[in-house]
Amino acid sequence: MLNKIKKYTPYIVLAVALILLLIYTNTEKPKQITPPAGFTTSTGEESVVTTSPLDQTPGDTISSVEEANQNLEKTGQESLGKGFTVNRYTDKNSFLSFDIITNEETKVAAVIRPALTDQEKNITSFKEYYKVGTPEAVMYLSKSSVGTVHVYSSQGVAVVFEEYSGQVYNVATFDSMPLNQFKQVFSSMFQDIPDRSVY
């Protein structure tokens, strides 16, 4: 009997080791998705969203952005008032539209772009992926009946999405700033209450 046990000892040890390994791997905590590394903005803060190269341009001059991004074709320009201008571009490769807001010194104050990744295309997955938490303000698109805006001004991002479907329309990236400054920069685009005049 003892000889039979000795004969099967390596198999018993192997079976116990496999069972322990299975128990350990099944109880291991699931890995958290970590947001991509941010970049340091001109204010010294780290931005949360860096999907597009244009997300890294706040603080640069518009001419240096155009020079570095030869694929951008300018399609228009419009004054937003209070010293801000929106410069409209189309990417010649992807045909996506980008709005770059500049201040009086022609420095980039913000970039408004479409959602570019699967994680950005739905508000729930956007919040989970970038771990932005509760918005500092909830605003609404001006002159539109659809479009809720979650503002994270201290994290340098605002998200425009459709309330019921959760579909993200646009992502705005900018140097982190106080909420009142954000409202000044975006005053012609976003407002505190829904625009009832378009219903």
pLDDT at 30 over 60: no
What residue type is 25 in one-letter code? T
d(CA 149, CA 194): 10
- Over residues 136-195, the pLDDT tens digits come to 999 999 888 778 999 999 999 999 999 999 999 999 999 889 999 899 888 889 999 887
d(CA 158, CA 48): 11
d(CA 70, CA 87): 15
